[in-house]
Amino acid sequence: MKTHGERPVHQRLADATFRVECGTSSGSGFSFRHPSIAATNCHVIEPYLSAGSPIYLVTEAGARIPAQLVSYSPENQYDFALLTVQGSLSQGRQVLQPKANAAAPRGLSTLFAGFPHGIHDLLVHEAVVSGPAASHAFYIDGSVNGGNSGGPIVEKATGELIGLVTQRRFLGVVQLGQLRQKVQQLTQHCQGVASQGSVEIMGVNFGAFAQMMAQNFIVVDQLLQANANSGIGIGFSIEHMNAEYTRLGLP
């Protein structure tokens, strides 16, 4: 319940959320338990794990703060990453606290926040827990998109943290994967043709044409991935991340 002078829960959630940038990857994250600690999904910072790309936390106001990985659980397990904030946060930033009982029963009203599609606009959504997805995960009936990964899910009534936005579920995922594979094959073929030089027939430069087609197929691939959304998201419980925080003795 909001007390006198306290910000509405929607705004407090926004004030705790970051855009997370790491190499070519972009997702969301949030301040967790202490101002010096942030959390996100492990798959959001994959370029750090594979190539050492630096991690940055970007506030809604545009402040860009470096972060350092402390601990993580891989994507095929609990998909979280704990980070230390390597800089000062502006006044008014919020820190999310975990709910003592992080259960997410069907019908629970929640809020989640993030930067969908990697845009610079921070959006807060309302969603209801639709049901369990696994022992450590649950479905929410919210508009989850690429870029929302790692964002916080809180109980609407209290603002307490119950999970991280981790995946989106949509119909035709197998067919979409097959279509994306074909598009990528066409892209590679066109790039190969373009690399062999230019041949002009009846005024048409086929090398330039192949390069243009390759660029168009890349855009098609990005659009297919970005806009696959059925309005169903998957949140992972904070239970295991919270236990790791305690095990490490973080502040």
**Domain that includes residue 18, residue range:** 9-170+229-248
Question: Do both 180 and 133 map to the same domain?
Answer: no
**Residues 142-152 pLDDT 10s:** 888 889 999 99
Q: Are residues 166 and 66 in the same domain?
A: yes
| Helix/strand/coil percentages in the chain, nearest 5 | 30, 35, 35
Q: Are residues 18 and 124 in the same domain?
A: yes
Instruction: Write the pLDDT tens digit of every residue in 84-128.
Output: 999 999 999 999 999 998 889 999 999 999 999 878 899 999 999
More reliable by pLDDT, 169 or 172 = 169
C-beta of residue 122 within 8 angstroms of C-beta of residue 103:
no
Find the mean pLDDT for residues 119-141.
94
pLDDT at 137 over 90: yes
Say how many CA atoms lie within 13 Å of 222 toward its Cβ.
Answer: 8
| Number of domains the chain is built from | 2
Asked whether residue 105 is domain-assigned, the answer is: yes
Closest CA to 80 of 38, 112, 42, 28: 42
Average pLDDT, stretch 13-34? 97
The percentage of the chain sitting over the pLDDT mark of 70, rounded to a whole number, equals 75
Q: Residue 208 above 80 pLDDT?
A: no
Would you say the pTM of this structure is higher than 0.85? Answer: no
Q: What is the pLDDT of residues 35-74, one digit of tens each?
A: 999 999 999 999 999 999 999 999 999 999 999 999 999 9
| Same domain, residue pair 21 and 98 | yes
